[in-house]
Amino acid sequence: MRPRVVLVTDPVFGDDGIVRCVEAVAHALPEGALAVQLRDKQRPLVSLRVFASRLRLVTRAVGAALVINGDARLARDVGADGVHLGTGAGTVQGARAAAGADAWVSVSAHSDADVRRAIADGADAALVSPVFPSRPPSLHAAAKEGRGLEALRSARALAQTLAPDAADHPSGGDRLAVYALGGVDADNARACAQAGADGVAVVRALLATPDPGRIARALHDALTARW
């Protein structure tokens, strides 16, 4: 599993809007190029489980992967492909113990120390953020300052020098994949790729546009040189 585009959901856009976006993006990209990360920290668990199950059906139908934010047991229960761990959300080992040994596990990386920890723990991917100035998922939260492209260059260097051999990786994969998150859009995705990103993780770049398929293709094309 090596998606080029990770679509991080935001409940502000509504369940139906998210599903429409997922379908449009998946149809615009090659199969396997899209992963959907379900992120909703406010929804009651019962409701979240219902939507996660719906997204599992949708993503499976369109050839996209599904990743659950912060809840490995829910990921297991709905048959998701992986788990994303935010700061303080548990360990990579614990996520695989709950979701399955083959679960794809990504982690938040707000510093080089986070990247080193991700490599040591055997994570499959690190979402390096915020690369550019960005607004958090909540519309009422303050904007975050960007760390700049140097954060990606540093993460890439660490991934290349510290990564274990594929045979030693807990999930059987190779080095840590680096994703750019935070203020990423079709205009700056190429710069992210040139700085070392394997892919991009986006929220409003896809959910807030009237033509997510076109934007998804532009993001994908900007990353092509990295693959």
pLDDT score, position 164: 61
Exposure string (b/e) for 52-68, b if CB count within 10 Å is 16 or more?
Answer: bebbbebbeebebbbbb
**Mean pLDDT for the stretch of residues 100-125:** 96
- With a cut of 60, say whether residue 21 has pLDDT above it: yes
- The Cα–Cα gap between 49 and 33 comes to 25
Band of pLDDT at residue 171, cut at 50, 70 and 90: very low
- The Cα–Cα gap between 178 and 153 comes to 10
- With a cut of 90, say whether residue 6 has pLDDT above it: yes
- With a cut of 90, say whether residue 225 has pLDDT above it: no
- With a cut of 60, say whether residue 88 has pLDDT above it: yes
pLDDT score, position 162: 79
**Mean pLDDT for the stretch of residues 148-156:** 96
- With a cut of 80, say whether residue 163 has pLDDT above it: no
Domains, the chain, in order of start with CATH, read 5-98+129-153+178-226 (3.20.20.70)
